[in-house]
Chain A
Amino acid sequence: MTPVRPRLTLLEPALIERILEEALALLERPGVRVESAEARRLLQAAGASVDARGTRIPESLVRDALAQAPHEFFLHDRSGTARVRYGGDSVQFDPGSSCVHLLDDETGRHREAVSRDLVRLVRLCEALPQYDAQSTALVCADVPKEIGDVYRLLLVLRHSDKPVVTGAFTADAVPPMVALLEADAGGHIALRQRPRAVFDVCPSAPLHWTQFAADGLIRLARAGVPAEIVPVPLAGATAPPTLAGAVALHAAECLAGIAIAQLAAEGPAPVVWGGAPAIFDMRTGTAPMGAVETAMLDVACAEVGKHLGLPTHGYLGGSDAKVLDAQAGIESAQGLLLGALGGINMISGAGMLDFLACHSLEKLVVDAEAIASARRLLDGVSVRTDSLAVAMFEKTGPAGEFLKLPETRRLFRLEQHLPSNVIDRGSVRAWEDSGRRGVVARARARVAEILDGHPFPPPRPDDERERARMAVVGPLAARAGLDRLPAA
C-alpha cells in the first residue's frame, strides 16, 4: 500500500482556467514591455504585434511555446549523476541566492559578505543532505562587481559536487558563466547532456521583460542551459492586491518568458515555472517573504505551472526577521512546509533573513531541520507490517513493552526522522548542564562541527579542472583590474 502523499491545494481547476485565461488576455492587452530587440524580433516573427506601447503576444504563440517546453529535466552533480528532478511532484531545496549581507555570528551585525563567507556557506550546504542543490548564495564584496556573477559560480564549482541554482545580474555575465560551466563539465556537449546548473531569470513586475532579463534568457536557451523564470509580483504594489490576481499576473510574466525561450532555442528549451512572489506590506512598504500569504502565492503559482505540466520553483524558507529568533523559526518552517506540501520542485530561500538580503550559516543548519521535518511529512503514514498492532500485542502480551520488540528496533528508524542536536529533545537537566544553550548556540556549535571537521584548501592550480575554470575566469578578472583572486 503506497502511503497517501499529503498535499496542499489552493486553487480549484476552474480557478486555474480563469487565471490562465486572464494571463493570456494580459499578454494581448496591455501586452508586455519587452526591452530586448532580439526578443521583440523573435516574438514578432512568430506573430506578436509590436509597437511603442508594447508587445502583444497572441494565445496561439503561447500555446505553441507551451507545447514545446519540456515537462521534465534533471540537474546533475559533478560526477554526471542526475540528482535534481525538475518535474512531477519532486520536492527539493536549495539555499537562497545572491544575498549581499551575512549575519556575522561573532558581532551579531549584518555585514557585507566576502569570498570566505561564500566558501564556508557552500561547504556547509555541501555537508547537509537536506539541500539537494547549491546556490550562488552570496554576492562577494571583495571582488569587483563586473566579475561578481562568474566569480560566485567559480567558488561554488570549486567547493561543491552538488547541482547549482545560479543566476546573473547582467546579460553579459551569462556567456562567461555558461563557458565556466562548460569548462567544469568538460565541454559544451557534456554540459548540454548533463546540465549541472539552472539560471534564475527575473522579469520585472508588472509585465516587463527588461533587456538584461530577456537577453539572458535568450542566451541560456540557445546554449541549452535550463532557465528558471522567476517573476516577483508584489500583491498590492506591482501586482493586483488579491492573491488570485497576483497569480494571474505571475502566470502572464512566466508565459511571456517561456515564449521567448522556446522561440530562441529552435527546439525544446528547458524552463521552470518559477517565482518569488510576495505580498506588499502596507505598513512598512516591504515585501515580506515569510508571510503566510507569500507562501500561499508560491503554492498557488506552482499549481498553475503544474496544471501546464511544467517544472516548478518557489521562494520559501526565508524570513523577514533580522536575527535567528522565533519569528525566523516560524516563518521559515511555515514556508518550507507549505512549499513541500505544494509539491514545488525546487524551493529556494533557506538560510535567508531580512527579506532576501541577508544569509546566516546558523540559520541554514536550523532550516535544514525544518526541511527534514517537511520531507518526513511528505512520506506520509506507511503500513510497514502485515498486522498493524494485533500481532505485536500477541508477542508482547498485554503489558505491551514495545521497547523490547525487535520490530521496534527495526521500524522506528523508518518511522522517525532523527534530528541533529540543533533540535533539543533532552531533559531540562541536560539543558542546564549544557550551559542553558538555546537554538542559536546549538546551531553555532553545529556549524563549527561541520566546518572545522572539513578543511577546505583552495584548489591546486595544477588541477586540470581548475586550470579549465581559470582559463575562463582569469582573463575576466584581469580585465576587471584584479591580478589575483581572493584565496578561496
Chain B
Amino acid sequence: MHDGLLAAMRRSILDGDPDRSAALAREAIERGLPPLDAVRHGFVPGLDEVGEGFAKGDLFLPDLVMAGEAMKAATAVLEPELQKTGARREILGRIVLGTVRGDIHEIGKTLVSTMLAAAGFEVHDVGVDVPAETFADRAREVGADIVGLSALLTTTMTAQRDVVRALDRDGLRPRVKVIVGGAPVTRAWAEEIGADGYGEDAVAAVSLARSLVGR
C-alpha cells in the first residue's frame, strides 16, 4: 500500500537528491509507514543499486556521494522517530575511521565514511593526520567493531602499522578489526601489518566491513 512511496524513496537515492529524500522521509512519518520499513524497503534498495552501478562502471563517484548524501538526509529525519518507537534502526556496526598521521588526504576516507554511514554503520570520522593513540582511544570510547585507516602516500602508509600496534598494545584486538585502504595499499601490505582486510574502493569497503561484522 506504500509501494509508490517506497519506489519514490529508492528513486530519490538514485537521483542523489537530499531534499527529496528528506521530504519523502517526512511523508512516510505522516502516512504512518514504519520508519524501519522506509529505510529497509525504500532507501536502502536505492543505495544498493547505486553501489552495484558503480561497481559495474555505469555510475560514478559523484553518483555515489550524492546517493550517500540523500541517504543521510533521509535517516536524519527518520532517526528521532525510530528512537521514539523504540525500534532503533539496527546498526550494522561501529566504525572509527580516519586518515593516518602525517597524511592530510581526505577524499577517499570521506567517501568511505559516507558509504559506510549510508549502508547502516555508525561511523565515527576522526578526520585526517590522526595519531595512532587517537584511533585506539576513540575505538575504546565508542566500543568500535572496526577501525578504518586511510593513507594516500607510500610514505604515510607505514603509519597504518603504528595504529595496528597501538590497538594491540591496548588489548583491543582481535575484537576490533582493522581495515586499510588508499592508493598504495595492497592486500599483501594489509597481511604484512596484520590488518583484517583492505578494500579497493568505497563500495568494496562496505562489503568488507559487512563481512567482518558478519552481515
A interface residue numbers (CB < 8 A to B): 401, 403-406, 408-409, 412, 421, 427-430, 432
| Minimum C-beta distance from A8 to chain B (A) | 32
Q: Are A412 and B65 in contact (CB under 8 A)?
A: no
Contacts of B33-70 to chain A: CB distance below 8 A = 57, 60-63, 65-66, 69
Asked whether B200 lies within 8 Å of A404 as measured between CB atoms, the reply is no
Establish whether residues A421 and B62, one from each chain, have CB atoms under 8 Å apart when the complex forms: no
A408 to B187, CA, bound (A): 32
Residue in A412, A429, A432 whose beta carbon sits within 8 Å of that of B62 in the complex: A412
Cβ-defined contact, A408 with B62, below 8 A: yes
CA distance A401 to B66 in the complex (A): 12
Q: Is the CB of A429 within 8 A of B200?
A: yes
User: What A residues does B60 contact at CB under 8 A?
Assistant: 409, 412
- Which of A403, A406, A408, A428 has most chain B Cβ within 10 Å? A403
**14 A–B contacts from the bound complex (CB under 8 Å):** A401-B110, A403-B111, A405-B62, A406-B16, A408-B62, A409-B16, A409-B60, A409-B62, A412-B60, A421-B57, A427-B200, A429-B186, A429-B187, A432-B186
Cβ of A406: which chain B residues have Cβ within 8 Å of it? 16, 66
How far is it, in angstroms, between the C-alpha of A48 and the C-alpha of B101 when the chains are bound? Answer: 84
Q: Does B29 contact A (CB under 8 A)?
A: no
Mostly, the A contact residues are: helix
- Please measure, in the bound complex, the distance between the C-alpha atom of A285 and the C-alpha atom of B66, giving whole angstroms: 59
Q: Which residue of B lies closest to A418 (CB)?
A: B60
Residue of B nearest to A399 (CB): B106
4 other A-B residue contacts (CB within 8 Å) besides A404-B66, A409-B16: A403-B65, A404-B65, A405-B62, A409-B63
Which B residues touch A430, using CB under 8 A?
A: 200
Please give, as numbers and ranges, the residues of chain B lying within 8 Å of A401 by CB-CB distance.
110
A403 to B111, alpha carbons, bound, how many Å? 9
**How far, in whole Å, are A427 and B189 apart by their CA atoms in the complex?**
15
By a CB distance below 8 angstroms, the chain A residues around B69 are 404
- Contact B183–A403 (Cβ < 8 Å): no
Report chain A residues within 8 Å CB of B200.
Answer: 427, 429-430
Q: Contacts of B183 on A, CB cut-off 8 Å?
A: 427
Cα-based distance from A406 to B19 in the complex (angstroms):
12
Tell me which residues across on chain B come within 8 A of A429, comparing CB atoms.
186-187, 200
Contacts of B66 in A (CB 8 A): 404, 406, 409
Contacts of A405 in B (CB 8 A): 62
> Which of chain B's residues has its CB closest to A433's CB?
B200
Minimum CB distance partner of A405 in chain B: B62
With a cutoff of 8 Å between Cβ atoms, the chain B residues found around residue A408 in the complex are 62
Residue of B60, B63, B110, B111 with highest tally of chain A CB at under 10 A: B60
Cα(A430)–Cα(B198), bound, Å: 13
For window 179-215 of B, CB contacts with A under 8 Å fall at 183, 186-187, 200
- Kindly state whether residue B87 has any CB partner on chain A within 8 Å: no
- Chain B, residues 56-88, CB within 8 Å of chain A (1/0): the string is 010011110110010000000000000000000
With A409-B16, A409-B66, A429-B187 known as contacts, the answer to whether A403 contacts B57 (CB < 8 A) is no
Given contacts A429-B200, A430-B200, contact A403 B186 (CB under 8 A): no
**Chain A residues positioned under 8 Å from B187 (CB to CB):** 429
Chain A residue at minimum C-beta to C-beta distance from B65: A403
Give, as a whole number of angstroms, the nearest-CB distance from B13 to chain A: 13
Q: With a CB–CB cut-off of 8 A, which chain A residues contact B7?
A: none
Kindly state the separation between the CA atoms of A408 and B61 in the bound complex, as whole angstroms. Answer: 10
| CB nearest neighbor in A for B186 | A429
**Smallest CB-CB separation from A413: which chain B residue?**
B60
Q: How far apart are the CA atoms of A427 and B60 in the complex, in Å?
A: 16
Q: Which residue of A lies closest to B60 (CB)?
A: A412
Instruction: Kindly state the separation between the CA atoms of A87 and B183 in the bound complex, as whole angstroms.
Output: 47
The CA-CA distance from A463 to B106 in the complex, in Å, is 62
Once the chains are docked, how many angstroms separate the CA of A427 from the CA of B187? 12
How far, in Å, is B103 (CB) from chain A's closest CB?
A: 17
Cα-based distance from A401 to B105 in the complex (angstroms): 12
Complex A-B, nearest 10 residue pairs according to Cβ-Cβ distance, in ascending order: A409-B62, A403-B65, A408-B62, A404-B65, A409-B66, A429-B186, A429-B200, A403-B61, A403-B62, A404-B69
**A408-B62, A409-B66, A429-B187 in contact; A403/B16 too (CB < 8 A)?**
no
CB of B204 to closest CB in A, whole Å: 10
A432 vs chain B, min Cβ distance (A): 8
Asked whether B107 lies within 8 Å of A403 as measured between CB atoms, the reply is yes
B-chain residues with CB within 8 Å of residue A412 when the two chains form the complex: 60, 62
CB distance from B86 to the nearest CB of A (A): 33
Residues of A within 8 Å of B63, CB to CB, are: 409
Within 8 A of A (CB), among B94-150: 107, 110-111
**A272 CB, min distance to chain B CBs, angstroms:** 39
Q: Which residue of B lies closest to A411 (CB)?
A: B62
A428 vs B110: C-alpha distance in the bound complex, in angstroms? 22
Q: Which residues of B contact A421 (CB under 8 A)?
A: 57
Give the complex CA separation of A405 and B111 in angstroms.
13
Chain A residue at smallest Cβ distance from B69: A404
Q: Could you tell me the distance in whole angstroms from the C-beta of A339 to the nearest C-beta in chain B?
A: 30
Distance A19 CA – B12 CA, assembled complex (angstroms): 63
Q: Which residue of B lies closest to A421 (CB)?
A: B57
Query: A residues within 8 A CB of B61?
Result: 403
Whole-angstrom distance between the Cβ of B81 and the nearest chain A Cβ: 25
Quick one: closest B residue to A432, CB to CB? B186
CB distance from A437 to the nearest CB of B (A): 15
A406–B70 Cα distance when bound, in Å, is 11
**Nearest A-chain residue to B198, judged by Cβ:** A429
- In this complex, the member of A404, A408, A432 whose beta carbon has the largest number of chain B beta carbons within 10 angstroms is A404
Contacts of A432 in B (CB 8 A): 186
Write the chain A residue with the least CB distance to B66: A409
- The residue on A at minimum CB distance from B67 is A409
Query: Whole-angstrom distance from the CB of A306 to the nearest CB of chain B?
Result: 39
Q: State in angstroms the CA–CA spacing of A403 and B67 once bound together.
A: 11
Query: How many whole Å from A292's CB to the nearest CB in chain B?
Result: 35
